[in-house]
Amino acid sequence: MVARFLKLKLRLLGNLFRRSPWQIFGLVVGFSYGVGTAVAAAAGLIALRLAPVELARDVVVSAGSLIVLGFLLVPLVFGADDTLDPRSFSLFGIPTSKLSLGLAAAALIGVPALAITLVAIAQVVTWTRDAGTVLVALISMVLIVATCILGARVTTSIAALLLSSRRAREVTGLTSLLVLSAIAPLVALAVTVDWAKDGLRVLNGLAGVLAFTPLGAVWAAPAAAAGGNAGLAILFLFIAAAFLAVLWFAWSFVVSRMLVTPERVSRERPHAGLGWFGLVPGNQAGAIAARSLSYWGRDARYRASLVIVPVIPAVMMAALYPAGVPFHVLVLLPVPIMCFFIAWSTVHNDVAFDNTAIWLHVASNIRGWADRLGRIVPPLLLGIFVIALGTPLTVWGYGSADVAPALIGMSSCVLLVGLGLSSVISAAFPYPAVHPGAGPFAQPQSSAGGASWVQGLSFFAVLGISIPSVWLAVLALQRGGGYSVAALLVGLAIGLAAIIAGVYFGGKVFERRGPELLAFTARY
């Protein structure tokens, strides 16, 4: 039975490569990334062979705990692949014990398992100091791999079990976003610790605590053995083994529960009336705008692409302030940067977001420009809102109203150019997107290979076209006066030209390529 599951997993992995070259390229990149990280970690562990026991212990336990935590949490936050979801096997009548063993074993095949195995073997090398220690390290090695893989399976399945309804999935997606945004300052804090001076002390304290937790015990056992404390080593191994046992029982329990729990069906509150549709003009562009607005409100995928909008200026300011950039200059950054990301990161793959539902536009033979115009309405409104609200705040932070025209000019320019370019790009170069109804962080089955160049090119194209306005805004900052008004006028002129051209040419492309766009979305 176990062999059967292993074969199935191997076949699934093999089938990943029966795709288009771009997708295979993406897979290879992902694979190299995973294995590369593991090799780097393994190299570090091997290097620690020469370090004193104390130091090696602190580093291994801290980093190791982080790895275990990662295996436990990453599936919860990002949602993991559920190609071997226990529910898929519910109709085969396989005994639960066999099924849970088989699925757990199958999880041992894959890039994450390969990576953690490399690391686990490397930590044996770290502790090749005497026979007893090596023995303990070997036991740890097995426990590490089993704990990480089983832990990931458990949390993946719990996530799948609890988050099976669409509503729950979307809510969780957003919660995890908030968690991630909250972690960002923590990471920033960690970066500010003067590691050169206090690093070892911090690490030592951390490792001391973590060693007694299920996360760190498995890594701490060989270290204790190397330090000559056999009793402590056995205690650590015991903690690790107990944790593994708990995971195993949890896993068996989850599998047996999943086999009898069908996917949840959710009921939602009714939405009376036409919503946005009642507020817009009753023509094609208006209806498409209302549809986009409804989706921005209801579909977590759109919100997911908006989350980075406030994060990026915050990170930039946090990074630049310690570098000595004065505060009154920093406050000029958020509005244009937010406008840039509102315009660039939201709608440049809008057609792919619709997936095959786009047939309705193709079958109705709608006017291309109406489709393009309707789709950019939500980000346009949002951008205008940011400019309207952000400009007075910026002026207040900067301490002078002179900067306002240049700021408005540059922000509008970036916003309008971004939307204009997105209008062409989403019709001409769609790339696979998360399917409607999937978690916002679920990755489409295909690679990002085709996506990255579209994203990169459009990113620099927006910046390139906006250069005159940005340059004038910088001159306005240095010299003031007429340059500020010039930045406003030039920015608006470039922006309006770009958005009109984008909607027009994007519409032409959309009309011409309608069936091809539908065929593209049907492939993924």
Partner 1 sequence: MGFSLDTVDHVQNADSILAKFDALIEKLHDESAEEKRTVQAEVKKKQKKAKAEAAEKAVVLRVEGLSKQFGETKAVDEISLEVSTGTVQGIVGPNGAGKTTTLSMICGLLRPDEGKVFVDGMDVWANPAAAKRQMGVLPDRLRLFDRLTGNQLLYYAGILRDLPPQTVRERIVQLSRTFGFEDALPRLVADYSAGMVKKIALAAALIHSPKLLVLDEPFESVDPVSASAIIEVLGNYVKAGGTVVLSSHSMELIERMCDSVAIIVDGKVLVSGTVDEVRGAGRLEDKFIEVVGGKGAVEDLEWLHDFSS
Look at the alpha carbons of 352, 358, 362, 365 in this order and tell me if their dihedral is positive or negative: negative
In angstroms, the CA 438 to CA 445 distance is 12
Looking at the Cβ atoms of 87 and 513, the one nearer to partner 1 is: 513
> Looking at beta carbons only, is 127 or 520 nearer to partner 1?
520
Interface residues toward partner 1, by CB under 8 A: 166, 265-268, 270-275, 277, 282-284, 286-288, 290-291, 294-295, 298-299, 354-357, 359-366, 436-437, 515-516, 518-519, 522
Measured between alpha carbons, how far is 81 from 75 in angstroms, rounded to an integer?
8
Report, in Å, the least distance between residue 285 CB and partner 1: 10
- Among residues 70 and 275, whose Cβ is nearest to partner 1? 275
Identify which of residues 197 and 269 has a Cβ nearer to partner 1 in the complex.
269
Residue 295: CB minimum distance to partner 1, A: 6
Task: Tokens 């999935």: give the residue.
Answer: 169
Those residues with Cβ within 8 angstroms of residue 410's Cβ, 6 or more apart along the chain or in another chain: 336, 466, 469, 470, 472, 473, 487, 491
Give the single-character DSSP code of 249. Answer: H
Q: How far is CA 372 from the centre of its chain?
A: 27
What is the closest distance, in whole angstroms, from the C-beta atom of residue 85 to partner 1 in the complex?
21
Nearer to partner 1 by Cβ, of 75 and 286: the residue is 286
Amino acid at 221: A
Nearer to partner 1 by C-beta: 236 or 295?
Answer: 295
* Residue 275 DSSP SS3: helix
| Displacement of CA 97 from its chain's centroid (Å) | 34
Token pair belonging to 272: 């009376």
Cβ-based nearer residue to partner 1, 244 or 358: 358
The kind and range of the H/E element at 10 are helix 2-16
Distance CA 322, CA 320 (A): 6
**For partner 1, the closer CB: 201 or 298:** 298
Q: How far is residue 95's CA from residue 87's CA, in Å, rounded to a whole number?
A: 13
What is the C-alpha separation between 269 and 260, in angstroms, rounded?
Answer: 27
86 or 286: whose CB is closer to partner 1? 286
Backbone angles phi, psi at 416, to 5 degrees: -70, -40
Token code pair at residue 292: 């986009």
How big, in percent rounded to 5, are the helix, strand and coil portions of the chain? 80, 0, 20
Asked whether the beta carbons of 158 and 77 are under 8 A apart, the reply is no
- What is the biggest distance separating any 2 CA atoms in the chain, rounded to whole angstroms? 81
Is the Cβ of residue 276 or residue 431 nearer to partner 1 in the bound state?
A: 276
Burial 44-80 (b: 16+ CB within 10 A, else e): ebbebeeeebeebbbbbbbbbbebbbebbeebbbbbb
Nearest distance from residue 301's CB to partner 1, in Å? 10
Q: How far is CA 486 from CA 418, 472, 474, 482, 491, in A?
A: 21, 7, 11, 6, 8
Nearest approach in angstroms of CB 303 to partner 1 is 13
What angle (nearest 5°) sits at the alpha carbon of residue 51, between those of residues 243 and 200? Answer: 75
Kindly state the tokens that stand for 299. Answer: 């579909």
We find the least distance from the C-beta atom of residue 258 to partner 1, in angstroms, to be 23
**Cβ nearer to partner 1, comparing 281 with 456:** 281
CB of residue 261 vs partner 1: minimum separation in angstroms?
19
The CB-of-18 to partner 1 minimum distance in angstroms stands at 13
Nearer to partner 1, 437 or 480 (CB): 437
Residue type, 259: L
Phi, psi of 437 (to 5 degrees): 90, -15
- Tell me whether residue 43 or residue 363 sits nearer to partner 1 (CB atom): 363
Question: Do residues 203 and 51 make contact, with C-beta atoms less than 8 angstroms apart?
Answer: no
DSSP at 271: -
| Residue 262, helix vs strand vs coil | coil
